[in-house]
């Protein structure tokens, strides 16, 4: 099997430092890869052909420890730079990435399998937008914030909130959107003064190296943004070393990451899976809904966390909607991502195809029906895009995340049943509502247990730089994007200054019965709802503040 693989030259150039790092790390590959499961070695493989066009050395625990140690040494100087200087590096990165957008999209298509045009529109479009947004708003976000406390006990105080970096942030990123998902955490982390060590998916290492090259060429220091390659063991080693972890991936692995972070009492942010519902109401524009749901479900070969994975349609429009959806999906073309006529590419690996095939087979064995199954090219990476009906509610296709081009469509009596069915899941990443009445859609959205709900659109909330994104329930912890995403990248320190130096606090030592009575009076003045009671207590408070019975 190994001897039959064709290896070609990588299509992008590495900087001298990156090339040195690749060559020097080859020496550890033989020993480190012995602990990496077969089929999980970091390599750039075209999902459409199986061709391996680059391999990368596995970073073992010692290599990860060394990378984090270098980052920890370099980070204070990076954090000491004015925020505008760091923002300037990210602005330069935006222009660098824009100038190399075709190259980047081609790497993504060759590693992930999605069409080049889709990689440009989604991966590059979202990445450029979020980087530009964060570079603009981060300097203001990082300014110390003064506030006056409303507490009577703090009337003499000036309170300042200072946002400081965590230190070294570890990012464990997935293969389905291998550019904008790591950048969603990396860009704000860098802007906030952190160093970043990224462990990309072992299936998309090439685009990770490309991003690192672009960042370094834009002014980010070598040890401030590093990439370590490998599978689960490499990610586990990063959890043992970093000061905070951002993880995007499956619920099962997310739980392991959370436990590893809990053992060290370090924070983590998790964006996990979703069994996302789409609700089509009777007043919806059915053609629009069919077109949007078709794109949301089948783009990226169905390998999208926020895609509609269960569709619930009010019974009165079920048949016409199903016809419209079948027509929309039936017009799509399946093929290699490097072909500009392709709408749906292959799944990234045969292992992923096997999972979706098992979910499909179980549904069919239990009485589901295929409404549509698109013809596909031959090859281990392709799974025929399929629409199912009559899928049992407790089948794997309805209760698990279906991470591929498989879509169950279900008729429901009314909106109440649709909401109940939509919420009948352990996950809550996102959802969509399709309706001609926007206010009705908003009312339905407020009853859905999901981190984001879009009305008459698909997936868009997850890709806007100033809109926070994250799930409910077992779909994760924390947020990316927006000010909440920046907040994930800092620790907030309170600095409190007393304006009157040398004036002792009235609650300090010097306890006595008089002190006790005066403290009791203070509580009345501070919190009583009765004005006369507060006035009567005021003399004791003045004695407490200005003439304590017993100073210590």
Q: How far is CA 276 from the centre of its chain?
A: 16
CA distance 539 to 537: 6
User: Is residue 126 in a domain?
Assistant: yes
- pLDDT, residue 8, reads 33
363: buried, middle or exposed (CB in 10 Å: 19+, 13-18, 0-12)? buried
Residues 152 and 16 in one domain: yes
Residues 386 and 332 in one domain: yes
Helix, strand, or coil here: 394? coil
CATH number of the domain within which 227 lies? 3.40.605.10
Residues 301 and 379 in one domain: yes
- pLDDT, residue 291, reads 98
User: In 182-318, where do the E strands start and end?
Assistant: 195-199, 225-227, 244-248, 268-271, 277-280, 310-314
- pLDDT, residue 501, reads 84
Catalytic residue, from 202, 213, 271, 400: name it: 271
Number of domains in the chain: 3
Residues 286 and 370 in one domain: yes
206: buried, middle or exposed (CB in 10 Å: 19+, 13-18, 0-12)? buried
Residues 460 and 311 in one domain: yes
User: Is residue 44 in a domain?
Assistant: no
Residues 285 and 265 in one domain: no
Q: How far is CA 73 from the centre of its chain?
A: 27
**Length of the chain measured in residues:** 552
Residues 116 and 257 in one domain: yes
Residues 369 and 266 in one domain: no
How many degrees, rounded to 5, is the angle at CA 298 between CA 458 and CA 427? Answer: 60
User: Is residue 380 in a domain?
Assistant: yes
Contact present, 281 and 236 (Cβ < 8 Å): no
Pairing of strands 406-412, 386-389: parallel
User: Is residue 473 in a domain?
Assistant: no
Residues 257 and 123 in one domain: yes
Q: Which of 352, 305, 283 has its CA nearest to residue 45?
A: 352
CA distance 29 to 40: 13
- pLDDT, residue 37, reads 52
Q: Is 271 among the residues known to form the active site?
A: yes
- pLDDT, residue 148, reads 86
CA distance 160 to 451: 31
Residues 336 and 248 in one domain: no
Residues 169 and 255 in one domain: yes
User: In 223-368, where do the E strands start and end?
Assistant: 225-227, 244-248, 268-271, 277-280, 310-314
Helix, strand, or coil here: 437? coil
DSSP string, 65-89: HHHHHHHHHHHHHHHHS-HHHHHHH
How many degrees, rounded to 5, is the angle at CA 216 between CA 228 and CA 77? Answer: 90
CA distance 389 to 63: 50
Q: Is 305 among the residues known to form the active site?
A: yes
Q: What is the pLDDT along the chain (552 residues), one digit of tens a residue?
A: 333 333 333 333 444 444 343 333 322 232 333 345 544 789 999 999 999 999 999 999 999 999 999 999 999 999 999 999 999 999 999 999 999 999 999 999 999 999 999 999 999 999 999 999 999 999 999 999 998 888 888 888 899 999 999 999 999 999 999 999 999 999 999 999 999 999 999 999 999 999 999 999 999 999 999 999 999 999 999 999 999 999 999 999 999 999 999 999 999 999 999 999 999 999 999 999 999 999 999 999 999 999 999 999 999 999 999 999 999 999 999 999 999 999 999 999 999 999 999 999 999 999 999 999 999 998 888 999 999 999 999 999 999 999 999 999 999 999 999 999 999 999 999 999 999 999 999 999 999 999 999 999 999 999 999 999 999 999 999 999 999 999 999 999 999 999 888 888 888 999 999 999 999 999 999 999 999 999 999 999 999 988 887 788
Catalytic residue, from 192, 305, 459, 489: name it: 305
User: Is residue 40 in a domain?
Assistant: no
Contact present, 234 and 197 (Cβ < 8 Å): no
In this structure, what are the phi and psi dihedrals at residue 164, rounded to the nearest 5 degrees?
-120, 150
Residues 139 and 217 in one domain: yes
CA distance 284 to 71: 52
Provide the domain limits for residue 529.
504-546
User: Is residue 49 in a domain?
Assistant: no
User: Is residue 471 in a domain?
Assistant: no
User: Is residue 62 in a domain?
Assistant: yes
| Biggest distance spanned by C-alpha atoms of the chain | 93
CATH number of the domain within which 403 lies? 3.40.309.10
């Amino acid at each position: 099997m190994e001897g039959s693989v064709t290896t070609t030259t990588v299509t992008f150039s590495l900087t001298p430092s990156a090339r040195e790092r690749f060559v020097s790390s080859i020496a550890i590959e033989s020993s480190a890869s012995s602990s990496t499961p077969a089929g999980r070695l970091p390599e750039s493989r075209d999902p459409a052909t199986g061709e391996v066009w680059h391999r990368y050395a596995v970073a073992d625990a010692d290599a990860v420890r060394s990378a984090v140690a270098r980052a920890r040494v370099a980070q204070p100087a990076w954090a000491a730079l004015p925020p505008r200087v760091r923002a300037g590096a990210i602005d330069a990165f935006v222009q660098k990435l824009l100038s190399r957008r075709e190259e980047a999209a081609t790497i993504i298509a060759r590693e992930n399998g999605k069409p080049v045009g889709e990689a440009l529109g989604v991966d590059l479009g979202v990445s450029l937008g979020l980087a530009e947004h964060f570079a603009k708003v981060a300097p203001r976000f990082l300014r110390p914030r003064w506030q006056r406390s409303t507490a009577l006990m703090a009337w003499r105080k000036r309170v300042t909130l200072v946002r400081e970096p965590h230190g070294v942030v570890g990012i464990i990123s997935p293969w389905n959107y291998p550019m904008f998902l790591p950048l969603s955490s990396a860009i704000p982390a860098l802007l906030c003064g952190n160093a970043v060590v990224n462990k990309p998916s072992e299936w998309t290492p090439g685009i990770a190296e490309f991003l690192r090259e672009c960042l370094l060429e834009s002014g980010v220091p070598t040890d401030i943004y590093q990439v370590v390659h490998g599978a689960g063991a490499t990610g586990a080693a990063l959890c043992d070393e970093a000061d905070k972890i951002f993880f995007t991936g499956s619920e099962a692995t997310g739980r392991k990451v959370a436990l590893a972070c809990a053992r060290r009492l370090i924070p983590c942010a998790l964006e996990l899976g979703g069994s996302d519902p789409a609700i089509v109401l009777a007043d919806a524009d059915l053609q629009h809904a069919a077109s949007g749901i078709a794109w949301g479900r089948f783009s990226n070969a169905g390998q999208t966390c926020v895609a509609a994975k269960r569709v619930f349609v009010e019974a009165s429009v079920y048949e016409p909607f199903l016809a419209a959806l079948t027509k929309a999906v039936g017009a799509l073309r399946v093929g290699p991502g490097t072909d500009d006529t392709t709408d749906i590419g292959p799944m990234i690996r045969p292992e992923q195809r096997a999972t979706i095939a098992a979910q499909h087979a179980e549904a069919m064995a239990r009485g589901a029906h295929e409404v549509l199954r698109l013809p596909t090219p031959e090859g281990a990476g392709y799974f025929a895009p399929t629409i199912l009906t009559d899928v049992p509610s407790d089948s794997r296709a309805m209760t698990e995340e279906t991470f591929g081009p498989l879509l169950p469509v279900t008729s429901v009596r009314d909106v109440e049943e649709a909401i109940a069915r939509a919420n009948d899941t352990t996950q809550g990443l996102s959802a969509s509502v399709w309706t001609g009445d926007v206010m009705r859609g908003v009312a339905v959205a407020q009853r859905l247990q999901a981190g984001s709900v879009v009305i008459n659109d698909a997936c868009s909330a997850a890709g806007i730089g100033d809109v926070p994104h994250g799930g409910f329930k077992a779909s994760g912890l924390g947020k990316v994007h927006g000010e909440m995403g920046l907040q994930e990248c800092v620790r907030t320190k309170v600095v409190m200054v007393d304006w009157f130096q040398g004036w002792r606090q009235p609650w300090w030592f010097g306890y006595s019965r008089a002190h006790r009575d005066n403290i009791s009076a203070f509580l009345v003045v501070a919190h009583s709802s009765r004005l006369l009671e507060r006035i009567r207590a005021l003399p004791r408070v003045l004695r407490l503040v200005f003439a304590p019975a017993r100073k210590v």
